[in-house]
Amino acid sequence: MAFERMFSLCTVCNVLCDIDSVICVYCKKWFHIKCTSLSTSKSQLLNNSDVTYHCSMCTVSQYAGISHNINPNEILPDEFSSDCRYYVGNIQHFSIMLQECTSIVHINIRSLAKNLPLSEAFICQLNHSPDIIAISETTLRSTTPANFGYNVNIYGYNFVHANTETNAGGFGFYIKEGVDFNILPNFGIYSSDCENLWIEVKLHNTECAIGVVYRHPAPNHKEFDEKLFKVVDNLNNNKYTYFICGDFNINLMKYSRDNTVTEYVDVLHSLSCKALISKPTRITEQSSALIDHIYK
């Protein structure tokens, strides 16, 4: 095995493997540990026991082809983009949503520690490597120890994030190395039920403001709506190109039967802010909901 490793290239970075490398037992491909989401402690466990490693692409392949019964009677207005497609459906109790907006992807990860490898597999399925990966529901907290047993790095990306003090929430960005960015510390949606982080980046010679949002579940979202409308108006007044993405916990599939959702979408549209996601992003055997949004 050691001899084979010496002459194998890492599947991710295409550089010769060294002693800190692992092989996937399914596809037989080699990976530098630093190019995976494995921590050093986990890699040592693999090397010193009968535990085996399977890469993120092999992990996700077993879920390919899952289909879901989505209500065809749900009608969404012209305020929604028609260019929206699935990469994959719901995976057990883990819901992930990907939508390309030029070079931006959003993932509702529902625990970065648990689901980063699977998310990396989805990223690999995209036609190009995104410049920005926005992450919501990381569940990273200020009390999370540095040696928690995993790392949160994706090879070729810088990670910036904000912790949460709740059991849900937490958010951040993976920003491709070489992309200039600044965190906007005094900019955001200042609502009691909302966590958010904003950055300014230059993509394809265009200055962009990008926000990632997590709104805690609550039936009344009036305060949040008003604060979001002010942010969008501010972005328009400053002539920003912008993208706002995240887990809003507002089901846009109820547009035609919930007046609060109707008003929410209509006001955003009046501000030239268009929803790019038009299909359910949270799907179970009993229901489907569109609560993960991207706006531009």
Q: What are the structural domain ranges in the chain?
A: 2-54, 104-295
Average pLDDT on 130-141 reads: 89
Backbone angles phi, psi at 237, to 5 degrees: -65, -30
pLDDT band at 97 (very low <50, low <70, confident <90, very high): very low
* Residue that wins the pLDDT comparison between 173 and 288: 173
Flag whether pLDDT at 204 surpasses 80: no
* Residue that wins the pLDDT comparison between 192 and 150: 192
- The mean-pLDDT minimum among 84-98, 150-164, 176-190, 193-207 falls in 84-98
E strand residue ranges, the chain = 21-23, 30-32, 104-108, 132-136, 157-162, 171-176, 181-183, 194-203, 206-215, 241-247, 282-283, 288-289, 292-295
Is 275:87 a contact under the CB 8 Å cutoff? no
pLDDT of 100: 41
Flag whether pLDDT at 215 surpasses 50: yes
* Residue that wins the pLDDT comparison between 86 and 184: 184
* Residue that wins the pLDDT comparison between 86 and 166: 166
- The 10s digit of each residue's pLDDT in 4-62 is 666 788 888 888 888 788 888 778 888 888 887 565 545 555 555 445 666 766 654 54
104-295 CATH pick, 3.20.20.140, 3.40.50.300, 3.60.10.10, 3.30.420.40: 3.60.10.10
2-54 CATH pick, 3.40.50.150, 3.40.630.30, 3.10.310.30, 3.30.40.10: 3.30.40.10
- The 10s digit of each residue's pLDDT in 217-230 is 998 999 999 999 99
Q: What does pLDDT average to over the chain?
A: 78
CA distance 58 to 268: 40
Average pLDDT on 266-290 reads: 85
User: What contacts 69, CB < 8 A, 6 or more positions away?
Assistant: none
- The 10s digit of each residue's pLDDT in 234-277 is 999 989 999 999 999 999 999 888 999 989 998 998 898 989 88
Percent of the chain with pLDDT over 90: 31
